[in-house]
Amino acid sequence: SPTGDSWGIFTFLCAALCNLPALPALNCSEELGAGQSIQQTYDLTRYLEHQLRTLAGTYLNYLGPPFNEPDFNPPRLARAERVPSATVDLDLWRGLTDNARLAANYRAYSRLLCYLRVLDGQVGTAELRHRLAHFCASLQGLVLSIGGVMSSLGYPLPAGPAGPPAPPGTPAAPNDFLKKMDDFWLLKELQTWLWRSAKDFNRLKKKVPPAVVTLRLEARGF
């Protein structure tokens, strides 16, 4: 779609600009600051939102009815609580410190990434596996980018590695329908996390504007 192409081109240009060789006659007085890091993370979050819309539609069609029906809105099962939930009151969420919200995002995407990698090894079509692998790579980039924002703001990363998708002793889904329900809730929560994260980083970039980058000509014997 035109929107997808524009996001893809924008992301490619950002990556290309960041990797341009230094001009011999110019010096950059500051490295990438917190403001630029936040902007890049916001852009990546929006790109992932677009990616997930396409991926979710394809995956739900793979699951089949009733999961791919527009009005399918099942109650959340207790077993789905292993997936980090984004259903927190918005006023309570906004009342958290920037550090607490960033840490929650970092932990949640680390865990969601583990679940998605499990899906990648289970699906039966090569095209869907390719799309899942591509999305996992982008989501890994978001986890690293959030870690970069936290470091640039002087916040420590959450302690400990992300937990495994299923803690020891957790039984597998007893039937195919409940397994599909787990996958459905994983995609649903991921959509909500990305929607809220985009708002988080949009507010944060207004609080921490990009640093002014100044350029100076080097004296070349003049």
pLDDT at 221: 45
Closest by alpha carbon to 204, among 52, 61, 35? 35
Which residues make Cβ contacts (< 8 Å) with residue 33, sequence separation at least 6? 152, 210, 211
Measure the CA–CA gap between 180 and 162, rounded to whole angstroms: 23
Q: Do 54 and 138 touch, CB atoms closer than 8 A?
A: no
pLDDT at 164: 44
Single-letter amino acid, residue 163: G
Q: pLDDT truncated to tens, each residue of the chain (222 aa)? A: 444 555 554 554 454 444 444 333 323 323 458 889 999 999 999 999 999 999 999 999 999 999 999 899 887 776 656 677 776 678 888 899 999 999 999 999 999 999 898 887 777 788 898 999 999 999 999 999 999 999 999 999 987 544 444 443 445 566 888 888 888 989 999 999 999 999 999 999 988 876 544 334 344 443
pTM metric for this prediction: 0.74
